[in-house]
Amino acid sequence: MSLQPTDTKPLFMRGPSLGVRMLLIAVFSILLMILDHQQGHLRTVRQGLAVAVYPIRVVVDLPFTAASWMGESLSDRGRLLSENRVLRTDILIHQARLQRMATLEAENARLRALMDSSAQVSNRVVVAEILEVDLDPYRHRVAIDKGNRHDVFEGQAMIDARGVVGQVTRVDLLSAEAILISDPGHALPVEVNRNGLRTIALGTGDTSRIDLPFLPNSADIEPGDLLVSSGLGGAFPAGYPVARVMEVDRDPGRAFARIRAEPTASLNKEREVLLVWPRLTPVEAPMGTTVQGDPEASPPDPGGEG
């Protein structure tokens, strides 16, 4: 081996030939893909490798973190002061609103208790940062910097200050991957805030648009309506804004109306998102069919409230 320069072919073949090795690798890869496609078989393998490649994600993200840090530390005092003032005013306004929120929440809980339906509880949230890495230009997936260690779980809802962003699809030890509501493979149960009309919102592959393909022409929906998550399906907590209806196209020749909505969350700009831990309450059943279950039967809150 060591006598031969690398350029020449070996005189005698050692080990299996190139073709055979290729075939073995191909068969093994295909087996791997089949196992991985059947959910969960290779979770531990992937988690181990994910920890190994996490530094690469961090290194790629580093210049962006550094740039924002530099921007903060080099901006002049006057700007920081004015920004601080604006933020303080914002906090004051929000605090004032929250004061009323507490009483409203209590009132809501009492009313819901009267109606025999499950109470909405305040959710625990944690701020996660979206890593500046590109996963696949044709899919709307992001990597976030919170993982198993921070109690993140699969299917967890992700929101920002203005609305629903997406949900967690895969959790590793230190990071997680999430799908945005604009991914063509994502569907989200929503309702019209004005009248409670329920439907499904599908992603389109365009971050500024989601579609509502399952509403009949006669549905009571208008441009400007706010869509909020309905909480059906159990993945998303109910009541978070999702999108605003932009365009309703009722074509009598078609069975369903064509409705486009614009997500309220800024899907491609925001770097920070909130992960929400729902208090796992049974899905709200329509009036009259409420399941009279044992209140202790619902799984416990993974973490408590914050």
Partner 1 sequence: MAAHRRMWPVLLSFLVALSLEITPMPEGMTEARPAWLAMTVVFWALADPRRYGLGFAWFFGLLMDVLKGAILGQHALALSVVAFIALKFRQRIRVFPIWQQTVSVTAIVAIYAFIILWIDGLTSDVSIVPERALPVAATLFLWPLLSWLLGWARRHLRVA
Residue 177: CB minimum distance to partner 1, A: 5
Angle at 181 between CA 108 and CA 205, to 5 degrees: 155
Within 10 angstroms of residue 117's Cβ, the number of other Cβ atoms is 16
Answer yes or no whether residue 20 interacts with partner 1 by CB under 8 A. Answer: no
Interaction between residue 12 and partner 1 (CB under 8 A): no
Pick one of 121, 133, 246, 274: the residue that binds partner 1 (CB under 8 A). Answer: 133
CA dihedral 264, 267, 269, 273 (to 10 degrees): 90
Which one, of 84, 128, 65, lies nearest residue 277 by Cα? 128
Phi, psi of 212 (to 5 degrees): -115, 85
The neighbour count for residue 6, using CB atoms within 10 Å, is: 4
By the rule CB under 8 A, 17 interacts with partner 1:
no
Among 11, 39, 44, 52, binds partner 1 (CB under 8 A): 52
x-marked contacts with partner 1 along 136-175 as a string, rule CB under 8 A = xxx--x-x-------------------------xx-----
Binding part of the chain for partner 1, among 92-100, 130-138, 147-155, 298-306 by CB under 8 A, reads 130-138
Looking at the Cβ atoms of 52 and 255, the one nearer to partner 1 is 52
User: In which element (H, E) is residue 206 found?
Assistant: none
Smallest CA-to-CA distance from 196 within 163, 245, 229 is with 229
Closest CA to 232 of 281, 283, 278: 283
Q: What is the footprint of partner 1 within residues 191-250 (CB under 8 A)?
A: 205
Q: Which is nearer to partner 1, 1 or 114 (CB)?
A: 1
Specify the stretch interacting with partner 1 by CB under 8 A; choose among 51-59, 85-93, 119-127, 214-222: 51-59
Residue 63, SS3 per DSSP: helix
* Residues ≥6 apart with Cβ < 8 Å to 176: 128, 143, 144, 146, 147, 152, 168, 170
Smallest gap, in angstroms, from Cβ of residue 193 to partner 1?
30
Residue 30 binding partner 1, by CB under 8 A: yes
Q: Where on the chain is the footprint of partner 1 (CB under 8 A)?
A: 1-3, 5-6, 18, 21-22, 25-26, 28-33, 35-37, 42, 45-46, 49-50, 52-53, 56-57, 59-60, 64, 132-138, 141, 143, 169-170, 177, 184-185, 205
